[in-house]
Amino acid sequence: MALVNSPEATGHSKDVDFAYLMVRDYVARDEVAFYFLPSADMPADGLTKPLPSPAFTSFRDAIGVGADLGLTA
């Protein structure tokens, strides 16, 4: 996020891929915004790691899937 939001280059960022420069341009034109999201609030965690029941329920609610998914009557 620092590379995207900061127009200054540092010694460590001089070899940054062109894609970062393109993203920085989109940010400057207000076409996209980036923000920090704590891990506990990331819905994608349900797709990338096993979750305890409360976190899984929150994930399921966040993506709009009901509790009866996969159950056949």
Per-residue pLDDT reduced to its tens digit, 47-73: 888 888 888 888 888 888 776 655 555
Mean pLDDT of the residues in the chain: 76
Instruction: Tell me what pLDDT residue 9 has.
Output: 56
**pLDDT beyond 80 at 3:** no
Phi, psi of 36 (to 5 degrees): -80, 135
Q: Higher confidence at residue 65 or residue 30?
A: 30
Any idea where the domains of the chain sit in the sequence? 1-36, 38-68
Instruction: Tell me what pLDDT residue 66 has.
Output: 73
Buried b (16+ CB within 10 A) or exposed e, 7-26: eeeeeeeeeeeeeeeebbee
**pLDDT beyond 80 at 30:** yes
